[in-house]
Structure 1
Amino acid sequence: MTRITPFFLALAAALALPAAASALTGEKEVQRFTSFGGACANCELAGRRLAGAHFIGANFSGASLVGADLRGARFVGSVLAKADLSRADLTDAHMTGANFSHANLTGARMRDVEASGTVFSSANLSGVDLTDSRALGANFNGATLTGAAFTDANLQGAVFRNVDARGANFRDARLHATNFSGGRLDRASFRSANLSGAALRGGSFRGADFHDADLSHVSLAGADLTGARGLEQSQLNEACGDAQTKLPRGLTVRACRGSGIVVKVPPIPPVPALKPAQPGPRYLIIAESF
């Protein structure tokens, strides 16, 4: 017979309630918050209501959070590598030093998130809405971003090397010193985006929209901009390329010299090692009343 410990009873009770629940005490409303720490690799938390939850130094690698309500959640130094957060609601979430590498975030709602320095390398973010988000220095290396929306997002210094972001929307985004080298961004929209100092080296931007985009100090060496829309010679006069750069008919670009401008961006935190769970409690659940 399986013995049910008080720890697992507490866990079940915590997950059965909304993460930010309210109760009435006399005439005062008491707000309760749930915090998670320790290890819970491969946990089943699909559809859970965890709005406002705090994941502090937690290892949720491989966990299922499909469709979970994580609005306003905070992921501090936590590992969610290979976790399934498809269709999860992460609106207003804060991800500080978190690792979402190889995670599935397809169709997730991530408007207004703070993800500066967060690792999304090789993650699947197809169709994700990151409108108005802030992700300075974030690492999207090798991620799938097809159809993702980054409208009005601040992505300065972010790394998008070797991404598949075909059809993604970067309209009005701040992309200063962002690295798109080797990426597939065909039909992506950079309308009115600030790409100053960005690296588009060796990337594919066939049919992309560059109407009113700032391309000052942009490196287009080896980039394919065949059929790019809204691209003007005045924009290219501020950029540079090489003999392998492909441009729409009638447009030219000067040769790159030197390494371009140098911009200081927030460093990307080290990725925590994925270690086996140590003996002791698998969860730390703290209920705080205010």
Structure 2
Amino acid sequence: MRASIVSAVVLFLAATSSATAFDARDLEKLTSNSSCGGCDLRGAKLQSMDLKEAYLKGANLRDSVLKQINLSDANLIETDMRRSDLEKATLVSADLEYAILQDADLEKALLTNANLRRTDLRGADLDSASVEGGKFQEADIRKANFKRANLSQANFSDAKVTDVNFKRATMIGAIMTKAELNNANFTRADLTDARLDEADLRHTNFYRANLRNTVLSGSRLSNATFWGADLSGANLRDANGLEQEQLDVACGSRETVLPKNLSIRDCGA
């Protein structure tokens, strides 16, 4: 009986090891010509490598170490990078459509103009990341962290952004039309000229947020918090669930557009 138990443990450990180890031949292929579509690179250590314009479509990079790697203009469509360490990685203009980045570490990563359409970013950490012009349409970003991130001109239309942390993020001109943003945290975020029209913003926190000229028309604002927020020039026409009490702790301007029978004090008063 004891021998059979030991054998079973050995077989289990071997199976676990093979399930998490990368294929050495695939790694050699990648390092030799920067092309390895569909390759098995699970747990590979590729930190600081220059893989600009690499072809990694459909590759498995789960649990890999990719710190400070250069993947600018790389094809990462459908790539599995869940739980990978991409801290300070460069992914400028990389194509990550349908990629899986669930629980990945992207702190201080550079993703300017990256294509993140339909990407799975649930629980990912993008603290202080730069994603100017990033394309997040229809992406699943629930419970991700964008604290202090630069998301100016980024497009989150139709994305699932529930319970996301945007505290102190720079989101000038960001597009979040029809996004699911309930329970999101925009504390002290800069949303100047952003579009949140028809977005689900129930229970969202806009504490001291800059919402100057922000479009919020047709959005759902039940139980949203606007304490100290600047709504100067903002458009809240046809906003649903907005109550006077929510506006009493904010300020705006003569250009602020509100639903009928609601008012807001002037920020200059």
How would you bin the TM-score normalised by the shorter chain?
Answer: 0.7 to 0.9
Counterpart among 246, 250, 253 of residue 223 in structure 1: 250
User: Partners in 2 of 1:78 and 1:14 — Cα distance?
Assistant: 26
Kindly report which structure 2 residues correspond to 1:1-290, keeping only aligned pairs within 5 A, or say none: 8-12=27-31, 15-18=34-37, 33-36=58-61, 37-217=63-243, 219-235=246-262, 246-247=265-266
**Greater strand share, 1 or 2?**
1
Q: Larger RCO: Structure 1 or Structure 2 (Cα < 8 Å, ≥ 6 residues apart)?
A: 1
- Please state how far the C-alpha of 1:151 moved relative to its aligned partner: 0.4
The Cα of 1:108 is off from its aligned counterpart by: 1.1
CA distance in structure 2 between the partners assigned to 1:53 and 1:179 by the alignment? 33
State the one-letter code of the partner of 2:104: S
Per-residue deviation, 1:123: 0.3
Identity %: 25
Map Cα deviations across residues 128-158 of structure 1 (whole Å, 9 max, x no partner): 0110111100001110000000001110000
Q: Give deviations 1:73-132, integer Å, cap 9, x for gaps.
A: 111211000000001101110112110110010011111011010001100000001101
Whether contact under 8 Å (1:177, 1:199) holds in the other structure is yes
Distance 1:144 1:223, change over 3 A: same
Question: In 2, are the aligned partners of 1:132 and 1:152 still within 8 Å (CA)?
Answer: yes
Q: 1:18 to 1:130 in 2, by over 3 A?
A: farther
Distance 1:246 1:200 in 2: 13
Mapped contact 1:65–1:88 kept (Cα < 8 A) = yes
Quote how far apart the aligned CAs of 1:72 are: 0.6
Residue 223 of structure 1: how far off its partner (Å): 1.2
1:50–1:73 Cα contact (<8 Å) kept: yes
Q: Would you say the 8 A contact 1:47–1:68 is kept in 2? A: yes
More moved, 199-208 vs 218-227:
218-227
Task: Normalising by structure 2, report the TM-score.
Answer: 0.78
Distance apart, 1:38 and its partner CA: 2.6
When normalised by structure 1's length, the TM-score is: 0.72
Contact 2:191 2:210 in 1 (8 A): yes
Change (3 A) 1:189 1:59: same
Cα pair distance change 1:60/1:235, threshold 3 Å: same
User: Greater share of helix residues, 1 or 2?
Assistant: 2
- For the aligned residue pairs, the C-alpha RMSD in angstroms reads 2.2
AA at the equivalent of 1:145: M
208 and 39 in structure 1: CA distance in 2 versus 1, 3 angstrom threshold: same
